[in-house]
Structures are given as C-alpha cells and as structure tokens.
Structure 1
Amino acid sequence: MSGFGKGCHLHLIDGSAFIFRAYHALPPLTRKSDGLPVGAVSGFVNMLQRYVEGNTGPDAATHVAVIFDHSGASFRNAIYDQYKAHRPPAPEDLKPQFPLTREATRAFNIACHEIEGYEADDIIATLSCRAREAGGRVTIVSSDKDLMQLVGDGVEMLDPMKNKRIDREGVEEKFGVGPERVVDVQALAGDSVDNVPGAPGIGIKTAALLINEYGDLETLLDRAEEIKQPKRRQTLIEFREQIEISKKLVQLDCEMELDFTIEELEIRDPEPEKLLGFLAEMEFRTITKRIADKLGVDAPTVADVIPDGPDAAPADAPETLPFNPDDYECVSDVESLKGWIAQAYERGYVAFDTETTSLNEMQAELVGVSLCIEAGKACYVPIGHRASATDDLFGGNARAEGQLDLNEALGLLKPMLEDESILKIGQNMKYDSKVLSRYGIMLGPIDDTMLMSYALFAGIHNHGMDTLAERYLDHTPIPIKSLLGSGKSMITFDRVPVADAVKYAAEDADITLRLWERFKPQLHQQKVTTVYETLERPLVPVLERMEMRGVKVDRDTLSRMSNAFAQKMAQLEDEIQKAAGRDFNVGSPKQLGEVLFDDLSLPGGKKGKNGAYSTGADILEDLATEHELPRLVLDWRQLSKLKSTYTDALQNHIDPETGRVHTSYMQTGANTGRLSSTDPNLQNIPVRSEEGRRIREAFVAEPGNVIVSLDYSQIELRILAHVAGIDTLKQAFRDGQDIHALTASEMFDVPLEEMTSDIRRQAKAINFGVIYGISGFGLARNLRIPRAEAQGFIDRYFERFPGIRAYMDETVKFAKDNGYVQTLFGRKIHTPEINAKGPTAGFAKRAAINAPIQGTAADIIRRAMVRMEDAIKGLPVKMLLQVHDELIFEVEEGAEDKLIEKARAAMEGAADPAVKLDVKLSVDAGVGSNWAQAH
C-alpha cells in the first residue's frame, strides 16, 4: 500500500446525499422475490457505476471513500437539543435500504465509513484537512453548502447534479464571503433545515455584509453597539449567545479520531464475483448484465423481474456513448441530405426536430431541422439563418452562407416525413407538426418521448428535455440561452451562427433518440403501453387541429367588459375606503394589512419576513365572515384579475391573420391526465361568479354558425359512485335524481320535498369537496361557517356513505404500498411524497385519493376526443376547445341537432369497451351564438 501525499487525489463522496437523491428521483421498486424496497439502492448503484466509469484521465482519484451519516444523534445535539429536531424521520420504505447502500459500496470495492456521534460532514472535514496537510488534492462530491467552509488550498467540491465544480469563487458567489468565513455567515443566518437558530431576521446577504465589514463574527459581536440600524443592533446584542451556539453547530470538526487511515482509501478494482453477486441478489437484471459485459465475464442468472426501475437502461439499449457536439454534421448540400434520408429509410425510424424563430407555432418561421439515426450520429440542416445577428442598413437580413434552399430541402424531406413506413421520433412533436403543417407537410407517424415520459413517470418530475436528459442520460444539454441570450439583447434562432446551431440542434435530436431507446421498452415493462398508445399518442393530431382552428373572440365585447370592470373596481375602491375610514391603495397588500390589523384590529394578523402582514385570499376569506371590508377586497381582486388576465390580455392573443385565438394544449401539464392550456390559458376562466361567466360571451361563432357546448354531467361523482361502490348514489344517478339534494336529504334528514337551496348548496360543497380531499377547515372557508360545524358535516357524510371512507383508506394504503395510484384505464400517477411526514403527507394523501377519480374522468374525455372526428365526420362542424369536462364546437346553423346527437353518443360511450361503468355517463348540451349562451 502506497502512502498519501503530493500527486495524490482524494475523492470524498457524500453517500447520504446520493441515497436521498436516488430515493426521491425514482418511483418505488420492490424486489420481486420478497417485496423488499430496493428503488433507492438501484439508483445508488447506478450513480456509483457512473462514478467508477467516469473516474479516468489525469484528474482521476487515486483514493476514494463514500462517507455516510450515522443513524444516531451527533455531538451537536448535546450542544443544542433542538438541532435537526424539525426533520421528519426517514420514510419507512427507505429505512431498510440504508444498510444495503453500504453493502453496495463495499461490493464496488470502495471504502465506506460512518462514525457514531458524528455526521458525515465531520468525517469529510477531517479527511480533507489531513489530505491537504499531506500535500494532496481533495474533491468533495456533494452540493451540501455546509461543506463549503472546507474549500480552498487544494480542496474543491463537485456538484454531481449539475456536474459543476465549486472553488473559492463559487463559495464567494454563494455566501458573499470566502470559505474561511462561511461558518460566521451561517452562524448569523441560521439554517431552517437543520434548525440552527442564528440571528432572527438576518439572512445570508445581510450576514455577509456584516462579516465583510467587521472581519469576523467575534469582532462583530464585540462591536455590535456600533451598528447604526437599531433593530439589527438589538438582535445581535440580545441573541449573542444563540449566535455563538449556532457557530458551534455549523463548524465542522476537523480533528476527529478516525479508526482508519487515508492510505486505506486507495482505489481498488472491483472483484467481479462479489459485485455481480450483490447485484444479482438485489435482482437488478439490467445493471448486472451491463457491468458483467464491462468486466468481460458472464452475468449471473437473475430472476425474471422488471429491470431496476424506470431510471435503469433497458437490457437491449445500446452502449452508452459520450455526447460529442463536434461529431455532428452540418448538411449544406443536396447529396448529403439525400444520404441522411436514405439512412432513415434503411433504419425505418429517425429522430427529428425543428428550429424556428418563435414558440408561437402559428407565426414561427422554420430555420432548420435536425435528424438522428443512431446514438451519437446526428446532423443539422440549416435553411433559414441570417448573415447578421441583427437587422441593419447594411444587409443584416441577408441569408447566411452554407445553407440549403428552404423549398429544395423541404421538397426532399417531405416524402420521408409523411411516409407511413418511417417512424418520426420527437420531443413534443405537436409543436413540430404544427410548424410543418404551415409549410404543407403532414408529419406522421410519430413517437413522442415527452408523452412516453408522462405515461411512465407522471407525478415524479416534469417531462421537458433538459430534465429527461439529466435524469436518464446523465447529460446536461447545451442551454438555449447560451445561443439566444436574454432580455433586450435576446436574438431569434435565425440569427444564431450556423456552426453554433449545429451543435445545439443536432444534440436535441441525439438526446431524443437516446431517450426513445430507453423509454420504448419500459412502456411494456411498466404496463403503460395502452395508456401511451390509446390516450397519449393519438390525441396529438386531434389537439393540433383544434389549436390550428382556434376560436373567434370578439375584441369589442372584451373592450366593453374591460371598461365595465374598471368602473365597478372604482366603485368598490370607494366602498372599501369608506369601510376603512381612510384612503389607501387597495392593490397594496402592505397597506391593506395595516388597515385590517392595525386600524381595524381584526384578528389573525401575521407578519412575514418582510415585516408586512399577510393578506392572501385564505386570510381574507376567513375575515370575510366577520367584516365587510375583506369581503369587498375579495370582490375587487377578482375583478382586477378578470380584467388583467382575460378582458385585457385576451385581446393581445387574437391572431392578426386569422382573427382567432389559438391556445396551446399541454398533455403533460397535470399529473392526473387533465389537459392544461397556455397562451392563453382557457382552462381557468372563472365560472362561479357572474362576471367570470360573462367573459365567455366574447367567444363567438362566425356568421352563419353557432357554438355548441357538450359537458359531462357530474362525471367525477359518477366515477366516485362506481369506484367506491356507493349503491345509494348509483341508484340516484340511474333514476336521474338531483344528486346534491339526495345527499342533503341523507345527511340532514330533510325530505326531498322540503329541501331548501341553502341546504342543497351545503351538500353540493361537501360532495365536490370530498372528491378533492377537503378538510373541515377548507369546507368552513367555502361555506363561511364555523369549523366545528363544517367538520360535523364531513363526519356525518362519511357515516351515511361509509363506502367513500373505505375507498379513501384503501387508495391511500395502495399508494403507500406501491408508490402510485391508477385510473380505471391504467394510467399511473406516482405519489413519491405519500410516506412523508408533516403537511406534505396530508397533501399527498388528498392527491392520491383524488387522482384516480379526476384521472379517470380525464381519460374518458381524451378517449371521446380521439373518437370524435370519426363520430362527426361529414358534418359542417369544427371541434374548437376542451375545458375540463366540456367540449366546444362551432357548427353551421341547422346542423346543431345532428352534431349533438353524434357527439353525445361518442362522449357517453367513451369508456366502452375498456371499462364498464356501473353508472351511465350523461352529457348536457347547449347552443348559442357565443360560449356563454351555449354553456
């Protein structure tokens, strides 16, 4: 064994951070043979393998150790008994995985250490200081800010998430001071995560200013009386002891007694039998095969199980290749493009992407396209780049050299892009398809990696390319900002130099193909192929056509509404100021708080960190039961939002060429399968208030046409009756009874013939509230009644409908056991927070209860939309909008009855034959010259 000294390089890996990153990043996974949770172990093993493979070259480690936190308390708890007291205990399914990660580390023949009474950071600190004193270098593989005090003089950090090195400059950027003063800043600022108290009201920036001015913490505290700001001076004097304790808590121990030496951490090759034996024992088939191939040995037999979680590469995935932007080809002549097209035909598939001048597909101009036919082999075809980064008088709008003619390039690409025998693979293909359709190209057939990710991982992370590349390919894509800039100096893609565009655009296609190779087999393995093939992929062209059609919005109607809202707001402002007894800015939360809690002395005033009272909607709704002013402010705020978000903003969204508004639907915007829409968002137009409903008057039909709305009637309550097996509700739906009146009758023992609108309103609030997991507190706020009375309503509801409580309990248990819930059509909604403690758990439980119901309703309307075009074929009609449970059409006058007949049949039968509901779906229809009349 050699010594450690000059020329040696020690890597210290923060093992606990790796474990929690792996646990929270991946869906739950259990070992098939015995149900043991192993998801975090799988992710941890993949991270270690990537580390081992990447530890090459002149900067490679000569010595390495993975350092873990010991499970018991540390010496800091003796200093301050509340240290880390707020941290919830580890999730139950993670606890058995902690020892397995230690086994995994040893299986890789990497040293791993933990010491009772100390934290991993202290061990890392001691090893770093000893290595530095011996003349060696240290890289701490962690992003933990507490370790930044160690940086400098041969010690640096590596953030493994961002693959970013942190040196002295990086520490100064984070804390505003050098590493040697980090503990002083932390002692003042405290740490809410670790429950380090610090100095109340002093954050990182203020702490850095003070330390830079006075040199160090001790000098600052000794001279605290010199500080001019009274509050800051008082805080430092009054809380001196607490600040000094905080410094002891954040100061790492560099003088620990270790039961091992640095020399013992020398890099060792893994022993194939030991490593592969551990992996086989965990039943990690994919990585077992991959590592066996790397080591040049036969893989041991592993039980036939699903590969190790969605984060693992499928068994038949190609060898992981590094991304090399210099290898991408710029296609600037016809023969080269023909060659790439020929390769696509030979393969039968091609990854494809477009570059354009705008995110608005209705106005975007095509700048170039990229193709990829195998990992690492991609090209970019520039067709619309400009010679200069800006327009000017000297030809700045001229075409850049070295490009194909747009019409010539598209003429060659069009047959391949439309050929049914060639699969086009993309990320968010709806965008590319809409852009190409304006150039006369009907793109298809397609696969979409964004939608595959959504089918596989809904609830775990978003589905943008950057996220997917970093998580599943361990690669950070070239950021678009590095090419376009930002702010006023931001340019469009046609101004990007072709050489830079090649690296960025071709990389997108390369990433897309690699994601597809990884995700496609997992659809089957994770049993979501049907979701992708019947609910996601076929919806793309349907949404594309709806978005291209747009909906006519009358600018004059919006303008009149804006004026009316402005007048009403002015009237409300006058009433508010009279109720307050003085003039103030109603739009200022700070001034409103002072009026409510200082002037009027209303209860519940709480100040935030900025010293101002909180005046959120929830606080005002509570106060509205006691005073007129907050009620008026709520009305004013609603009008203000309607005016700014809709009646004013919608006018800016009217396309100058079509005169219509073209929203963009996002299939992956909600975990449950509900669609969301942007630019503009038409899903959130309020319908509860008269003013909100009036906005729909501006959505009008063209002359000679009418608007038809078809809306599922109480679809989520019908699904609840089915999944929870509530016979009373099922029968009521069959008999066509008023479901809210029936619920009220059951709960309050009021005969139906004596039912009042107020009692029915309360029952309606409970019916819908229960679906969304409403609490007594939330119901009290909705009905503006005392909390105890509201909780009594909920308790009585569950007594009358015990099946609903049973459904909730069973659903939460399933989520805890499996890490996801499912819709009736097989859509998985992952619930990674379901085993958490504290407020997060409550939210996760409510989401888990609601997701199968809302998700099933969303799946049903998706199925209806996919079938709708065939159902209404031949009729003079366009499907324009989808808003939650409603579809909106524009149809020629005289054909509305036929449309309603055909569309209603498609919607009411949308669940068949996949799911046979116990409760028949019902669809309400309406007709009018505008959306408000039709709805």
Structure 2
Amino acid sequence: MSDKQHLYLVDGSAYIFRAYHRLPPLTNPEGTPVGAVYGYTTMLWKLAEDLDKADGPTHLAVVLDKSSQSFRNEIYDQYKANRPDPPEDLVPQFPLIRDATRAFSLPLIEEPDVEADDMIASYARAAASQGWDVTIVSSDKDLMQLIGTSEQGGTIDMLDTMKSARIGPAEVEEKFGVGPELVGDVLALMGDSVDNIPGIFGVGPKTATKLIQDHGSLTAALDAAPEMKKSKLKERLLEHRADAELSRILVTLKEDCELPIAIEDMKLGKIPPEPLVAFLTGHGFTSLLRRIDNGGSAPGPTTQLHPAKPQNKGEAHAPKGNRQPPPEMPEVDRKAYECVQTVDRLEAWIDRAFAARLVAVDTETSDLDCMLCDLVGVSLATGPNEACYIPLGHGSDDMFAEKPTQIPLDVALAKLKPLLESDAVLKVGQNIKYDLNVLARHDIHVAPIDDTMIVSFALDAGRSQDGIGGGHGMDELAQRHLGHTCLTFKEVCGTGKKAISFGEVPLDRATEYAAEDADVTWRLHAHLKPRLAIEGGTRVYERVDRPLIPVVADMERHGIHVDRARLAGLSERFASEITRLEGEIHEIAGQEFAVGSPKQLGEILFDKMGYKGGKKGKSGQYSTDQSVLEKLDASGAPIATKVLEWRQLAKLKSTYTDALQQAINPRTNRVHTSYSLVGAQTGRLSSTDPNLQNIPIRTEIGREIRQAFVAEPGNVLLAADYSQIELRLAAHMADVDPLRDAFAAGEDIHARTAMEMFGEVDRDTRGRAKTINFAILYGISRWGLAGRLGIEADEAQALIDTYFARFPGIQRYIVSTLESVRERGYSETLFGRKTWFPRINSKNQAERQGSERAAINAPIQGTSADIIKRAMARMAPALEQADLKPGQPDGVRMLLQVHDELVFELPEDLAERAKPVIERTMAEAAQPAVSLSVPLGIDIGTGRSWDDAH
C-alpha cells in the first residue's frame, strides 16, 4: 500500500436524495420518518466497507449543504429558483442524517451560505496542492471541473458508487468531449434547468461541446460569433452573450473557502462502536445492529422499521402490504462456489439437489436469443453460498487453443435431465422462461418451476413510480431485497471491441458470475415466495401467472412463418412511396429538408410557413409530435397530412417489413417473438424482438403486413379474439344493468350506448358512442374527450355528464375505485392482481391525474389480461382432451397472443373440430375463480394468412 495521503470527500447531499428515493417510507418506533436516514446509513456503511477492502482513504469527510443560499443568489436572484421544496417527510430527517454521520465518528462539514460543491472544491484543491490524492464520492457533473493532477503531483478523481465507476480525465472527456478544464465553458453554454442557470437558449450539449472544441474556450466562441455564417446559432450567441458569461460565473466552483476543519484532522481510524450502536438502537435499525454483532459487515435491508402511515396530504406511501423482512442469511461469498469439472462432482451436486427438494437453476449461453444461442454452462444452488457452475462450452474458438477441462455436453445433460424433469424437486429461476427454451432445445423439459421475477411482479407491480418497487431484474431485486450488488456481465466479459463471449471467460471468474446468479435466485425465492401468502399474492401467482410460463415458452419456440418475398415487396413499395411523399412535402414547403428531423420540420411549419400553434420545448425546438400534426391536418394543412403518411410508412417499413425479414430464424425459417410477463404494469403480455403487438389493426397497410404472416403448406391460421372484453368487464364490475342486458341479448353495445346518449343510432352517433365507451374506462378528461371527438371542452363535459346519468354504475365504479386506491395504495383485479399507484395522492397535479386515470382502468384491463392468460394455460389440456394434439406439428399449436387475441396454426382438416374447443376454453376462462354476470364473446376465423383469419 502506498504511503501517499488520500482524502475522500463524500457528497452527502447526493446520498440523501438517493437514499430517500431508494427505500419505501419508513418510521422508527417513535413514528418519525426514517426511510432516508436508514438508506443513507446503509450507503455510508457500504462505502466504508468497500473502501476498507480496497486501497482506501487515509482521510475522509462528509460534506453537506447547510442552507439553500450562496454567493450565487447575490449575483443572480433566480439561481435555483425553480427547485421545489424538499418532500414533507424528508425535512425532519435532515438532522437525523447529520446524527448518522456523527455516529460513524466521521468529520461532517457544512457551512452557512456555502454550497457543498464549493466546500468540496476548496478541500480538494487544498489537499492536491499538498501532493495528496483526492477522490470525490459523487457523480455531480459540476464537480468534474476539478479532476486532474496538481503541480505538486496530487490527483483529483471521482467515484460514482451507484455505477462502481471511477471518473478521471478520460471519462470526463468521453462525457463532455473536452477536458475537465473546459467543462465549465460547456456547462455555461448549455445552462442547467435544475439550478436555473440560463446558458444560451437553444444550445444543447452537442452544440456546446462542438463550439468549445472548435474555438478553445467560451470567450473565444462568443468572440467568433459575429464572423459566423447567418444562422439561428449565430443569432443566439450574439443575443445571449451576457447570459453565457453570467452562467460561466455561476458554474465556476469557489475554491478558496475557509476550511473549518484541518485536512490533517480528517484522518480515518477504526470506527468506535459505541456511538453507532446508540444511534442504531435509538432508531430501531436492529438488522444493522446484528451486523455489528456478526463482525461489522455491510448491513442488509431493514427488519424492525415500521411502514409509514398514509398522509392526508402529499405523496402516497405504502399504507398496506408493506414488504416483509428477508430471512437471515450469510453474506454472499463468491469464493465458496464450486466449478464442477468431473462427472463425480456433478453427481454429488445432483444428489444434493434431490435431497434439498428445491434447486435454483440458471443457464449461461452464447447469445441473448434463446432460439439461436449455444449452451455454455449451467449453474445450480441449493442454499446460500451453496452453488456451483458446470461449464459445458468454454474455450476459445481457435482450434489449436487448449480448452479447459469440462464434462462433455451430452454427458452432463443426460445426468441433469432426471433432476430438471423430476416432479419431486422444485426448480427456481429468474426469468426461467429463457432457461426453459434453451434446455428444451436439448430435449430437457424443466418442471415444476417457480420464477422469482414473476413472484416479484405479483407483489410489487407499479411500485417503481415511488422508488419502492423498481424493476424485477435480478440485479435490482438483489440490491433492493438483499442489499447485494451482483457481478455484471460487462464486468466479466468487458465492453466494446475488447468484449469477449462468456465461453471465453476463465472458469474461476465464470464460476463467480454464474453461480452467483443461482445463489441470488435461491435467496430471492426464500424471501419473496413467503410474501405471497402474507401479502395476498398467492391467488394471482398460482392461478394465473405461474401456469403461463411454460405455455409462453412453447409459443416462443413454435414461432410463426412469414412470407419473406411478400415482406420484401412491401419494403420496396414503401420505399418508393416514402420517396414520392418526400418530394411532395418538399414541393409544398418550397425547399428540401430532412422530413425525419423534428427540428427542421418544426422550423418549416412554424417559422417559414407560419402555421399557428407551434410550441417550443426546453430544448428550444418546436414540438412536431403526432398530436401537433393531427391538429394541423384537421385545420387543413396539406403538408401535415403528407408528413403523417410519411411517418406511418417509414415506421412500418423500419419496424416491420424490414425488421421482420431480419428476424427470420435461419434454423427454423420462422419468426420467434419474445414475450415478457412483467412488461406491462396491469399484467398484459408485451412482445419484443420483434414486437408483434403494434401492427395497425384497422388500416389497409396494417392488413397487408398481417397478410405476410402465413401458415405452412396444408395448414391454416386460426384467430380467436375476445369481443369488447373490457366493456363486458366494466358492465360486470360496475354493475351496469343496461350494458349487461345488451351483452346478454347480443346487441351492438355501441349502438345501445348511442341510443342511450343521443336518442338515435346512425353512423355518426355510433362512432361517437364507441369513442366515449372506451374513453370513459380510461378515465379521460373533458379536454381529452374533446380532442378525440373534435369538439369544445364544455360540450365534452356535457357528454360525460350524460353518460354518467345514463350509466350511474360507471360513475360509482370510478369514485369507489379511486377512493380505494387512495386508501390502500393499489388497485386489484377480480383475480387479486395488485397494481400499485404511489403517486395517487401526489401534490403534483400531472402525476396525480395520471395515476388516477391509470387506476380507473387497471382493474378492468388487468382482469382482461388475467382472463386471457387463464385461457392460454388451459388451452393445451382442452385440446388434448379433444384429441387435437396440442403443440404437435400435425396438431393445434398456439403461436401468438396479441392484446385480446390468440393465433393458432393447425392442419386445415382440424379447423372445424378445434373452433368450439378454443371458443369454449376462452369463454369459460374466468371460471370457477370468478363468475361473471355477462357472457364473454369470442370471434373466430381461419385463413391462410393472419389477415385472412379475421
């Protein structure tokens, strides 16, 4: 270890807000909010532990903001004027966070009327001038101006603990395009909306960087403006020079503040336990206390904190269903994992898994595409730190390179197959659908299964809006629930040109990474699975989600055949029409420009052509999104009509006709989409790589794309679509007699609504009624409905009032749903699926109203999703009972799920036998768990193509 002094300066203010948004609202035994305090304490502790393991600091201090005022407010009274007040429940935690810092016996620096950044800059420069190395623990871009080496040899760098990344001069240049000494010049041109630093309006990061790169400094760039060619940029540089010069002063760090504590007095020693124990005890942080008793290792999630009580004002917290504490487990020890390279050791692990009756399983592959990848290895875990990795495909592609010792693939899989298929052992995975598909290609059909990703979704869908739930990926779940940071793929395989495949990773490192995945999955399952019963998630997980996993995996493997020649023809035609439209648009505009550039299009529409309604965003350019163009189109602007056509064709060409050709699997000659069971908050499946759920349904072009999805020779496609299922569910859930009666009688529901609303039925009133029917269920506002119908807001409100008067049950449903969500924090489907809305009581009107609209629709849309999932899970047994050979090449295969529709491929002579089985299974999918008061209608058609089946 070097004898050189090394000072670490922790940007404590950044830690506070990260901690606040990272954890749910919690209170200590006295009822004081302490969620941010707890998060801050764990982050500070983890930093101390990580630095202790590395070549850490000799000196360390935490720097906080004392007040919101500084010399910058005297120079510019609007400095930070736009910053909102801190959340109400965070304010009382500020003094407790200071107490937490002192409990660690760490120097705490905070000076009145001096910003933390300036104090950090002053200490950093002072230490570096003495030849010390300095590390600033922060990711604040303003502090990057300090990075470099002093004349005395002291270096200043930064540490971003969230990314575990060091930031030096090279990283600064990669981010800003200039060295640290010029970062202030770039920032002065860009401005900063958070701190309300003006900059030069319309100059973004790329332009600012280029100006400084070209001219060498801010002053030189501004001086060069008069000689520049005529342009908007020239005008802005000339007009706003004073703003840029003011901004340069505001972003400059003050490096000569008085230092309240001598640097030498910041020497880091062993943390005395007594103050820390007293602090942790006083606030009920018992899990951290236990860590001290166990030798002072980094703390895990809380065990004795109390969920905060819901407030009448402000943000919604987590009033009920608060997550349970994780079971006590040892810290993750990657050195405890075993690399299995002999058959004897593999058999020993298989015996251990059979004895445990539960094993976590994970596969390592050569590619993310489960239909194209090669199997590289398998990992197993039977308990915390009881994990192994079985390499199967490691070694360089070089035929002369020596490969590591491995069990032959076919031998290992033959040994694993009885375990992975045994009914006596539960196999647990994280996104296990991927592993099912990989192993199925090797004739291993894994069952029974549990999936920690799906369990997490059943418990915490939607909580991410408040930083409570976050995503459902393994790394996020491990960090949130276990307090553990997993090795990342990039850490193991590298990035960019130096990246290697996982099969080239040395076995010791591969074992740490792969076995950790299985170990963490086992731990997550031990924590999350018991929560299902405690928090009411068992019903939806066991009855809806878990049975669906192997079904969706089968669908992905089946794929669907597409007509490559037809797609190529459509791409060629679309390209020709796009070129034609570009010419017509240029002719209308009177000049050529990039139609796909929102900036250039905005300038043409609003500056050159003078159309009204142009609005500029923070970037300084006009908005030209769909709604803007549709308004211009409605007002008679021919260029807007052409641009809308151009955009649709360009999107369809790039997203479908081109992309689908590239997505054809060379091994199967079919397209295999990937379905996510956690992609939509309400429980709907989402489709990616390629996305097959956004193909336009009602347009002629959309139909042409669907015509490219075809059956194999001798087969047909069958499409079965729930008819108006959300309206049917609304009639049941809101107890609306007129709608129930209409569905029961098989009436046209939109015609019935038109008669109730307008007293007559024609094409216009039915169309308006259809819009209103669906819009109301999405909690639409008067302005939203006005926009859809092309009427005034007052007229739209009158229609909403009439609708509620005719169907009062709908209004009662909306009111009661919102009251329930505000009280509990979540909505529920008829099958018990929870969707959390942490912002339902937000003071921010846009956030609150957005949550309200989603909360109105979530129980209906979520119940619809649950029903089609149940139908999918029941389909194979129903088809099997009817001797229709589900999943077999000569039987009925379910290929796609798109919104409310299922698509099958089957021999043409089985179609008439299959139709009633499929229809009955879908119609009865809710039963017996839920008995609906309205029938579920299903429309079924068949044809050679997907479009023909409609």
Tell me how far 1:543 sits from its aligned partner. 0.7
Equivalent-residue separation in structure 2 for 1:258 and 1:804 (angstroms): 65
SS of the residue corresponding to residue 135 of structure 2 reads strand
Q: Does 1:122 align with 2:118?
A: yes
The correspondence for 2:352, drawn from 339, 343, 346, is 343
Q: Which residue of 2 aligns with 1:453?
A: 456
Q: Which residue of 2 aligns with 1:24?
A: 21
Q: Does 1:684 align with 2:691?
A: no
Amino acid at match of 2:442: Y
SS of the residue corresponding to residue 9 of structure 2 reads strand
Moved more, 108-117 or 425-434: 108-117
Q: Is the 8 A contact 2:17 2:36 kept in 1?
A: yes
Equivalent-residue separation in structure 2 for 1:913 and 1:612 (angstroms): 56
Q: Is the 8 A contact 1:484 1:493 kept in 2?
A: no
Q: Which residue of 2 aligns with 1:54?
A: 50
Q: Does 1:426 align with 2:429?
A: yes
Equivalent-residue separation in structure 2 for 1:778 and 1:133 (angstroms): 61
Equivalent-residue separation in structure 2 for 1:864 and 1:701 (angstroms): 23
Amino acid at match of 1:426: G
Amino acid at match of 2:162: M
Q: Is the 8 A contact 2:7 2:134 kept in 1?
A: yes
Q: Is the 8 A contact 1:621 1:781 kept in 2?
A: no
SS of the residue corresponding to residue 925 of structure 1 reads strand
Amino acid at match of 1:321: V
Amino acid at match of 1:825: F
Per-residue CA deviations over 1:308-357 (Å, capped at 9, x if unaligned) read: 99999944231213545xx6544333223223323333433333222333
Q: Does 1:436 align with 2:439?
A: yes
Q: Is the 8 A contact 2:287 2:303 kept in 1?
A: no
CA distance change for structure 1 residues 244 and 691 in 2, over 3 Å: closer, same or farther? closer
The correspondence for 2:74, drawn from 60, 78, 93, is 78
Q: Which residue of 2 aligns with 1:464?
A: 473
SS of the residue corresponding to residue 551 of structure 1 reads coil
CA distance change for structure 1 residues 836 and 169 in 2, over 3 Å: closer, same or farther? farther
Equivalent-residue separation in structure 2 for 1:138 and 1:722 (angstroms): 66
Tell me how far 1:256 sits from its aligned partner. 4.5
Tell me how far 1:542 sits from its aligned partner. 0.8
Q: Is the 8 A contact 2:422 2:447 kept in 1?
A: yes
Alignment of 1:208-219 (within 5 A): 217=218
SS of the residue corresponding to residue 350 of structure 1 reads strand
Per-residue CA deviations over 1:675-707 (Å, capped at 9, x if unaligned) read: 111232211111131321343333344455543
Moved more, 759-768 or 613-622: 613-622
Per-residue CA deviations over 1:842-866 (Å, capped at 9, x if unaligned) read: 5444334433332222222222222
Equivalent-residue separation in structure 1 for 2:164 and 2:672 (angstroms): 40
The correspondence for 1:870, drawn from 859, 872, 877, is 877
Q: Is the 8 A contact 1:384 1:406 kept in 2?
A: yes
Q: Is the 8 A contact 1:450 1:464 kept in 2?
A: yes
Q: Which residue of 1 aligns with 2:705?
A: 695
The correspondence for 1:861, drawn from 868, 893, 905, is 868
Q: Which residue of 2 aligns with 1:710?
A: 720
Q: Which residue of 1 aligns with 2:767?
A: 761
Per-residue CA deviations over 1:165-214 (Å, capped at 9, x if unaligned) read: 22344434434445454434322321122111123344445555655777
Q: Does 1:668 align with 2:678?
A: yes
Q: Which residue of 2 aligns with 1:357?
A: 366
SS of the residue corresponding to residue 765 of structure 2 reads helix
Q: Is the 8 A contact 1:878 1:891 kept in 2?
A: yes
Equivalent-residue separation in structure 2 for 1:96 and 1:688 (angstroms): 55
The correspondence for 1:87, drawn from 65, 69, 83, is 83
Q: Does 1:371 align with 2:375?
A: no
Amino acid at match of 1:881: L
Q: Is the 8 A contact 1:221 1:237 kept in 2?
A: yes
Equivalent-residue separation in structure 1 for 2:808 and 2:122 (angstroms): 59
Moved more, 192-201 or 571-580: 571-580
Q: Is the 8 A contact 1:622 1:781 kept in 2?
A: no
Q: Is the 8 A contact 2:342 2:407 kept in 1?
A: yes
The correspondence for 1:413, drawn from 408, 412, 416, is 416
Equivalent-residue separation in structure 1 for 2:776 and 2:589 (angstroms): 37
Tell me how far 1:907 sits from its aligned partner. 2.9
Q: Does 1:879 align with 2:880?
A: no
Q: Which residue of 2 aligns with 1:320?
A: 331
Amino acid at match of 2:157: E
Equivalent-residue separation in structure 2 for 1:444 and 1:656 (angstroms): 29
Alignment of 1:17-416 (within 5 A): 17-26=14-23, 28-31=24-27, 38-57=34-53, 59-61=55-57, 64-70=60-66, 72-110=68-106, 112=108, 114-129=110-125, 131-132=127-128, 138-152=134-148, 153-204=154-205, 207=208, 217=218, 235-256=236-257, 275=276, 279=280, 282=283, 284=285, 286-294=287-295, 314-324=325-335, 328-385=337-394, 387-388=396-397, 395=399, 400-416=403-419
CA distance change for structure 1 residues 151 and 595 in 2, over 3 Å: closer, same or farther? closer
Task: Report the aligned-residue RMSD.
Answer: 4.2
Alignment of 1:481-492 (within 5 A): 483=493, 486=496
Amino acid at match of 1:864: A
Identity over aligned residues, as a percent? 50
Q: Which residue of 1 aligns with 2:937?
A: 922
Amino acid at match of 1:767: N
SS of the residue corresponding to residue 881 of structure 1 reads strand
CA distance change for structure 1 residues 111 and 703 in 2, over 3 Å: closer, same or farther? same
Per-residue CA deviations over 1:379-412 (Å, capped at 9, x if unaligned) read: 43333345435xxxxx47x883523222112112
Amino acid at match of 1:454: F
Per-residue CA deviations over 1:714-740 (Å, capped at 9, x if unaligned) read: 222333445555555455445544333
Q: Is the 8 A contact 1:708 1:928 kept in 2?
A: yes
Q: Which residue of 2 aligns with 1:3?
A: none
Amino acid at match of 1:161: M
SS of the residue corresponding to residue 360 of structure 2 reads strand
Amino acid at match of 1:319: P
Tell me how far 1:625 sits from its aligned partner. 0.4
Amino acid at match of 2:718: V
Q: Does 1:602 align with 2:599?
A: no
Tell me how far 1:623 sits from its aligned partner. 0.8
Q: Is the 8 A contact 2:225 2:238 kept in 1?
A: yes
Equivalent-residue separation in structure 1 for 2:500 and 2:742 (angstroms): 61
Count of residue correspondences: 913
Equivalent-residue separation in structure 2 for 1:634 and 1:598 (angstroms): 19
CA distance change for structure 1 residues 581 and 214 in 2, over 3 Å: closer, same or farther? closer
Q: Is the 8 A contact 1:593 1:614 kept in 2?
A: yes
Q: Is the 8 A contact 2:81 2:196 kept in 1?
A: yes
Equivalent-residue separation in structure 2 for 1:272 and 1:29 (angstroms): 27
Q: Give TM-score, length-normalised by structure 1.
A: 0.85
CA distance change for structure 1 residues 320 and 912 in 2, over 3 Å: closer, same or farther? same
SS of the residue corresponding to residue 434 of structure 1 reads helix
Per-residue CA deviations over 1:260-314 (Å, capped at 9, x if unaligned) read: 6667766577776765565566555544544454469xx9x98696899999994
What residue ranges of structure 2 are gaps of 5+ in the alignment? 149-153, 309-316, 465-469, 885-891
Amino acid at match of 1:541: P
Q: Is the 8 A contact 1:673 1:858 kept in 2?
A: yes
Q: Is the 8 A contact 1:110 1:268 kept in 2?
A: no
Q: Give TM-score, length-normalised by structure 2.
A: 0.84
Tell me how far 1:504 sits from its aligned partner. 4.2
CA distance change for structure 1 residues 867 and 251 in 2, over 3 Å: closer, same or farther? same
Equivalent-residue separation in structure 1 for 2:934 and 2:12 (angstroms): 52
SS of the residue corresponding to residue 661 of structure 1 reads coil
Equivalent-residue separation in structure 2 for 1:729 and 1:278 (angstroms): 61
Equivalent-residue separation in structure 1 for 2:582 and 2:130 (angstroms): 72
